[in-house]
Amino acid sequence: FATAGSKADLANVEARYLLLDEPDRYPSAVGEEGSPVEMAEARLTTYWNRKIIQACTPTTPEGHINKEYERSDQRRYWVPCPVCGGYQVLSFQQIKHQGEELRKWPRDKRDPDYIKQGRVARYECSHCQAEIDDWDKPGMLALGKWVPEGHPISREGVMEPPPPVSHAGFHWNVLYSPFRNLSE
Q: What's the predicted TM-score (pTM) here?
A: 0.82
The pLDDT of residue 131:
92
The pLDDT of residue 35:
86
Strands (E), 42-91: 51-55, 75-80, 87-89
CB 61, CB 69: distance < 8 Å: no
Return the percent helix, strand and coil in the chain, to nearest 5. Answer: 25, 20, 55
The pLDDT of residue 102:
65
The pLDDT of residue 101:
64
CB 27, CB 36: distance < 8 Å: yes
The pLDDT of residue 14:
84
Ranges in the chain, pLDDT < 50: none
The pLDDT of residue 145:
93
Sort residue 179 into left (φ over 0), alpha (ψ -120 to 50) or beta: alpha
The pLDDT of residue 31:
79
The pLDDT of residue 174:
93
The pLDDT of residue 114:
86
